[in-house]
Amino acid sequence: MRQRILALVTLLAALTIVVLFRRDRPRDLEPTAAPSPEELDAAEPVVELTYAEPARAGRAEAPVAEPSIESKARKEPKGSPARRGEPDPPPDVTTETVLVFRALDGTGLAVSGELDVTTRNYSQRSGGGSSKSLSSDAEGRFEVRVERSVPGERRELEVGSEGRSARVDITGPFPPGRTDMGDLVLSPEPLIAEGTVIDESGQPVAGASVVVEAWKQVRAYSASDFEPGLFVDEETGEDGTFAVYGPTSATHMRVSIDDQRLRASPLELPVGTRGIEIVAKRSGGIAGQLLVDPGVKANALELRLRLESESRTSKGKGIADDGHFQLDGLLPGTYAFSVMAVGHMLVEIPGIEVMPGEVTQDPRLAALDLRGRLNVFTLALVPPSPSLAISGSVSFTGSGASSPVRCLLFDESPVVLLTPLATIDVTVCARDCRIERFSAIAERTEVRLRPCLAVRLALPRGILLPAPPLHVGARLEREGERPEERIRSFQTLSPTEPFDENGVAVCQALEPGRHIVRWFVERRDDSSSGFDPLDMTFEQVVVVLDRPDEQRFELALTNAALTAALAAR
């Protein structure tokens, strides 16, 4: 009896300890589950504002004393949010898999040896791919390692060997591990173009470089999707003939000659045309001299030629310091010759005749006088740090005008602008530096560049980012910025890394003020890389202040909104 009482007392003491431990256990140690899209949709809308003095919701202009963020209503999940870093994968994303094929020819025999394998993937806005060589065994079997299937993307595999090829859709999703895809029959590649290159006397031309270009629209997916165009450079044989084969879904092509000594007018033909006859002519040239004022570098000007029988315009280079130039490899014919200065046409001279095997010395080009036509503006750029390499772009307009905008890329200082405009307003966009604006600049202006404003963007807890190869990010687009500034600030001048595993991204603001948050998805894998914008159903505006320390903004986003944006790519 005494032993039973002692055992009962021991049991009660143990239960008391357990209860006290559970009551005093910190709440942030409680295990939580990731919120589902249904839970997010059922939650109450809230507006996220950061810092002590937030801006008002909406888009009304208002001065602020602290960095702020404005957004439309977003939804928080009911209950505890999931902690970032949990191993749960995003929905609809599979793990890596291996596809096993058996390559056969049209008679059912195994195709063994080296194979040319191309993997392509397409979204609603873009596409890409890569090629590599694989080997099939004696039975024709080979393996293709495929990364995760991504929602909203289509994937295609093309396999070729010695004039035979096949295509197969591998969009998936596939289960993890090895998947047997069965037989893949490689059929003879169809004819794209066949013909002969002859000279003006009708004799065949051997060794001529024939270029065939065709563009292929992706089948049964989206009218906005195009895969890379077919570009084949084929050399003619001793009898002047050529034949181009390959897999293509194109309907039309352009056939031309790419040879410095020979030229021919491009031919627009249906794919599969036989009996093409290309008459190659000996190329000609144009020579002359530009006369400019002292201090003006003639090689900073641009020469353009337009064959008057066509609409295509080509650019010419090779202006010497003294203004002499010679343009070779031209198709015989009548040209319009023009001289450009950063988008401004200074002069155009029509009716320049180019003869086969000759360099035209038109008297109108012998001493083309441009003196008194150009003004020179020099920008001496001083980087914020001596170790910072200078590169970027300068855009300018006539003083007080908003258009047209002329742009010039640079990778060193000083930057010299040649223009017929007497006074100009200038915008300098340098990498890792703020945008600098100047009105009616002097002939020589020193520009002291300032570093960008550091900004940290943070996602709400519980957001499930997609697994590689997709990476989601956000950038800041200044309200009212010009298109040329937007392109360079996003793609060239101020690169933005996607959100890390903690849901944080560090980016740069090129100016203080109001900025719109623009979402994007980046694909990084062996087959392709590139950006796609993500269209959200809401808009957020952050107000970046002019101060040196890093400014942090917590963005509003839900798993449901992210999943829908990824699926709509």
Same domain, 464 and 477: yes
Token pair 């009105």 in the structure block, residue: 439
- What does DSSP say about strands 177-185 and 97-104: parallel, antiparallel, or unpaired? parallel
| Contacts with 198 (C-beta within 8 Å, 6 or more apart), sequence order | 204, 205, 240, 277, 278, 279, 280
Same domain, 470 and 565: yes
Burial of 138 by CB count in 10 Å (0-12 exposed, 13-18 middle, 19+ buried)? exposed
Three-state SS letters, 362-417 = CHHHHCEECCCCCEEEEEEEECCCCCCCCCEEEEEEECCCCCCCEEEEECCCCEEE
Look at residues 357, 346, 222, 226 and name the one whose alpha carbon lies nearest to residue 296.
346
Q: In whole angstroms, what separates CA 373 from the centre of its chain?
A: 38
Domain boundary among the residues 340, 369, 398 is at 369
Q: Which domain holds residue 306?
A: 285-369
What is the pLDDT at residue 566?
86
Domain boundary among the residues 348, 369, 390 is at 369
For residue 20, which amino acid is it? L
Q: How far apart are CA 398 and CA 342, in angstroms?
A: 13
Same domain, 207 and 104: no
Whichever domain contains 394, its CATH number is 2.60.40
Q: Does residue 184 sit within a domain? A: yes
Give me the tens of pLDDT residue by residue for the chain, a chain 569 residues long. 444 444 444 444 444 433 333 333 333 323 333 334 444 334 333 333 333 233 322 232 333 334 555 544 333 333 333 334 444 444 444 457 899 999 999 999 999 999 999 888 777 666 667 788 999 999 999 999 887 766 677 888 999 998 899 999 998 788 888 999 999 999 998 899 999 999 989 999 999 999 888 765 444 333 333 344 567 788 999 999 999 988 777 788 889 888 778 888 889 899 899 999 999 999 999 999 999 999 888 888 999 999 888 777 777 777 898 999 999 989 899 999 999 998 889 999 999 999 998 999 999 999 999 999 999 999 999 999 998 888 999 999 999 998 888 988 898 999 999 999 999 999 999 988 999 999 999 999 999 999 999 999 999 999 999 888 888 999 898 887 765 554 343 334 445 789 998 999 998 898 999 999 999 888 776 555 567 788 888 889 999 999 999 999 999 899 999 988 888 77
Whichever domain contains 333, its CATH number is 2.60.40.1120
What is the pLDDT at residue 27?
33
| Contacts with 277 (C-beta within 8 Å, 6 or more apart), sequence order | 195, 196, 198
Domain boundary among the residues 315, 342, 369 is at 369
Q: How far apart are CA 89 and CA 143, in angstroms?
A: 26
Q: Does residue 23 sit within a domain? A: no
Question: CA angle, corner 66, sides to 65 and 71, nearest 5?
Answer: 115
Same domain, 159 and 215: no
Q: Does residue 21 sit within a domain? A: no
The CA-atom distances, in angstroms, between 400 and each of 426, 437, 479, 513 are 11, 13, 20, 22
Same domain, 56 and 137: no
Same domain, 260 and 348: no
Domain count, the chain: 5
Q: Which two tokens stand for residue 368?
A: 């083309």
